[in-house]
Amino acid sequence: MTDSVPEHAALLDDFRKAMRHVAATVYAVTTRHEGRSYGILATAVSSLSFDPPSLLVCINRSASLHAPLLAEGRFCVNVLGLGNRDVAEHFMTPSAADRFTVGDWELADGVPVLASAQSSLLCQLVHAHDFGTHSIFIGELTAAKHRQDATPLTYFDRQYIDISEAPGR
Ligand SMILES: Cc1cc2nc3c(=O)[nH]c(=O)nc-3n(C[C@H](O)[C@H](O)[C@H](O)COP(=O)(O)O)c2cc1C
């Protein structure tokens, strides 16, 4: 039992390494609550069901977005395209207050939507489940917009890559 802590650390390290090499589409998950916009960059997003059309997002409970999203019950999953890299980089600035100063943000049903995003998926929160450090938020789709010509911004090995250059595409 004395080596359980190092074993756990090694397991975490292996997990991080494994996930680093999973290519992931980058999303800006947003909400607006009491007159203020909130958003974080996320990759833990997945479509869930087509009946009803729904998706899930996994949000750290310590993130600035978490409480406002839970309180407001509405959010937008902005699927970022290659042309939105400036928005992705700006979202990683420490201050949550000025995240919406870069990008063509507009309000749709009172929620921040990035007009130039590859897709915008507006959701009504229908379920929240806490696990570990995160909450899994399930949203039912209320509106969606998609640009046919887009290439997703992809995160791989701690950097953004252009999947249109991936072999075999
Ligand atoms: C590529 C990338 C993917 C991320 N994916 C998630 C995610 O799926 N869920 C999440 O809660 N945080 C994710 N984060 C971290 C958040 O973007 C954010 O930095 C963190 O929650 C702190 O946000 P805050 O400053 O608004 O509190 C990701 C960060 C990066 C760079």
Tokens of residue 161, six digits: 């890559």
Find how far residue 82's CA is from the centre of its chain.
15
pLDDT given at position 60: 98
Distances (CA, A) of 18 to 13, 37, 54, 147, 157: 9, 33, 27, 31, 10
155 lines ligand 1 (CB under 6 A): yes
Q: Which of 110, 33, 123 is nearest to 69 (CA)?
A: 33
151 lines ligand 1 (CB under 6 A): no
Q: Does the model's pTM come out above 0.75?
A: yes
Q: Report d(CA 64, CA 86) in Å as an integer.
A: 20
Per residue in 18-69, pLDDT (tens digit) is: 999 999 999 999 999 999 999 999 999 999 999 999 999 999 999 999 999 9
Tokens of residue 1, six digits: 């039992």
Q: Report d(CA 73, CA 76) in Å as an integer.
A: 11
Cα 9 to ligand 1 centre (Å): 21
pLDDT given at position 166: 65
Atom of ligand 1 nearest to the CA of 62: 27
Q: Report d(CA 29, CA 43) in Å as an integer.
A: 10
Structural domains of the chain ordered from first start: 24-157 (2.30.110.10)
Per residue in 66-105, pLDDT (tens digit) is: 999 999 999 999 999 999 999 999 999 888 889 999 999 9
